[in-house]
Amino acid sequence: MSTILTHPAVPLALGLGLGRRIVSGRLLAAGVLASVLPDIDTIGYRLGVPYESLFGHRGLTHSVLFALLLAIAGALAHRRLNTTALKAFVFLLAAAGSHGLIDAFTNGGLGVLSFWPFSEKRFFASTRVIEVAPIGVKQLFSARGMVVLMSEFKWVWQPCFYIMATLVCVAGYFSGPRPDAISEPESPSGKS
C-alpha cells in the first residue's frame, strides 16, 4: 500500500490542473476523500479479518466496482458538490480508481483485487517500483518510512505534478484571454 499522504496526489493534480471552473472546491475535497477511502479496509487488521479475504486489505474496497459505486454516489450528490453529475462521476471515478492502481505498483503485499466480482485474482502491475508503506503513523516517520515517502515522491508526486502543469497550460491556452481583459490600445497622442 502507498501512504495516505500519496493517494490524494491524483485528485489534487487533476483538480488543481483543471481549475475551479471545472472542479469545484467541494468536488476536489470529495476526490481527496475518495482517493483514501479504499484503505478503510485496514480496520480489518484490528478485527482479525485475514489479509487475503474479500474484506481484507486491498480487497473489495480496492476494486473498480468500489470506485464505480463511489463515483455514482458522487454523481447523485452533484448539487452538494457544486458541479454536474457527469463531472462528479468522472472525477470521483478517477480519484477512487487511482488508489488501486497506485497500490498495484508497490513492491509488497498480496496484490489488488481489482476486478472483483468478475475475478478473485489479485493483481500487481508488471513493474513494481513504489516501496510498500509500513502501516501506522509511527512507522511512517521511521527511516523505512522516509524511504517509502521518497519512492512515492519519485513515482507518484512528480508525475502528478507534470500532469497538473500540463493541464494548467492546456486549460490556459484553450480558455484564452477573458473578454474584460481585452482593451483597446492607446493612441500615441494619449487620446482614443
pLDDT above 60: residue 178: no
Residue 68 is assigned to a structural domain of this protein: yes
Residue 1 is assigned to a structural domain of this protein: no
Residue 129 is assigned to a structural domain of this protein: yes
Into how many domains does the chain fold? 1
Residue 63 is assigned to a structural domain of this protein: yes
Residue 184 has a pLDDT of: 60
Residue 174 is assigned to a structural domain of this protein: no
End-to-end CA gap in the chain:
64
Residue 110 is assigned to a structural domain of this protein: yes
Instruction: Quote the domain boundaries for residue 16.
Output: 9-165
pLDDT above 60: residue 186: yes
Q: Which residue has the higher pLDDT, 144 or 36?
A: 36
Distance CA 117, CA 80 (A): 31
Q: Which residue has the higher pLDDT, 48 or 177?
A: 48
Distance CA 140, CA 138 (A): 5
| Residues 2, 156 contacting (CB under 8 angstroms) | yes
Residue 179 is assigned to a structural domain of this protein: no
| Residues 68, 93 contacting (CB under 8 angstroms) | yes
- Tell me: cis bond preceding 188? Omega within 30 of 0 counts: no
The letter for the amino acid at 17 is G
Q: What is the mean pLDDT of residues 19-37?
A: 97
Residue 92 is assigned to a structural domain of this protein: yes
